[in-house]
Amino acid sequence: MTTPIPVYLDCDPGIDDTLALAYLLAAPNVELVGIGTVSGNTSAAQAARNTLDLLALAGAPAVPVAVGAHDHLDHPYGGGAGWVHGENGIGGVDLPRGAREPDPRTAVQLLIDLSHEYEGRLHVLTIGPLTNIAHALEADPTLPGRVAEVTAMGGAALVPGNITPAAEANVFNDPHAAAALIAADWDVTLVPLDVTMEHTLDEDQRRMLLADERPFVRAVGEVLDHYFDFYVGTYGRRTCALHDPLAAVIAAGAVTPTRAPRVPVVVDVSDGPGRGQTIADLRGQRIGVRDHDGVRTRLVLDVGSSIGQHLVDTILAG
């Protein structure tokens, strides 16, 4: 038995965040050591409430949950994505209120504290806008030296965006912050729509969650209902993309990217039509993965196998 990976999760639950959280709580090789929230799918405060309620329902250990940035680097929070994630961020499902309140620290302070406590071992997993990470890098430029690895769900290289024709929502919501993440001196595994859209959870798998006897697992299945409706317009059937869960599964080491070139990724921070897109230099990749010298960001384009059933199996066995 190997030592579990200490993971700091930065998130904005969010329906697929909920699924990712359920996975991380159940994954045997992950130790969730802290959670920061950020505005994105819903507000940072609501995201913290959702997270605390989910943790309570799961009977999870008292992982600190710290509220992070409400507003983004160059613009205020825009009100979330209710049409995708429901008005409360978790598909309109009313969870029993958990007893715990958010950690008194900011998400930035929590992350910095954890980077000392787990120096050289901490894995930073981000599944929301990168605002907290940008603030943490500014507050403590030595942070990257203490972090083992970063896995970030975000971006769209060669596929359409989801919030605009060109941009994925996490990056679009704070392009400057995403640029700061990529510019920092650490190993980043970027998990863009190119690969997340290829992974789905289907209705029969959702029913397996709904049939579980644990209220937490059933709640995860219920939360997904709203998301499944949204994705009919994309996939032509009730299902959902596994954006955040795929990043979690990669961070947990449960799948190894099979095609993930280390290439320059530039975030468009303009106010033009390309705002928030991730321009990756994928020229020359037609004949195989070619890493660019000195680039520490790998862009995941394929992971070889589908993760939907692994996700469900892990949650059910958790």
Cα gap 66→112, rounded to integer Å:
12
Dist CA 298 CA 284 (whole Å)? 15
Which positions are annotated as active-site residues?
A: 12, 243
Could you tell me how many residues make up the chain? 318
Tokens, residue 205? 């798998």
Kindly state the smallest distance separating residue 157's Cβ from its own copies, in Å.
9
Q: Tell me whether residue 52 or residue 241 sits nearer to its own copies (CB atom).
A: 241
Is 141 or 165 the residue whose CB approaches its own copies more closely? 165
Q: Least distance in Å: CB of 126 to its own copies?
A: 22
Which uninterrupted H or E stretch holds 63? none
Cis peptide before 14 (omega within 30 of 0): yes
Please give the structure tokens belonging to residue 109: 């302070």
CB of 252 to its own copies, least distance (A): 28
Catalog residues that contact its own copies under the rule CB under 8 A.
Answer: 158-162, 165-166, 197, 233-236, 264, 266, 268-270, 272-274, 277, 279-287
Contacts of 61 (CB under 8 A, 6+ apart): none
Rounded to 5 degrees, φ, ψ at 302 are -160, 145
CB of 283 to its own copies, least distance (A): 5
CA–CA dist 304, 256 (Å, integer): 8
Q: Which is nearer to its own copies, 233 or 304 (CB)?
A: 233
Based on CB atoms, which residue is closest to its own copies, 288 or 304?
288
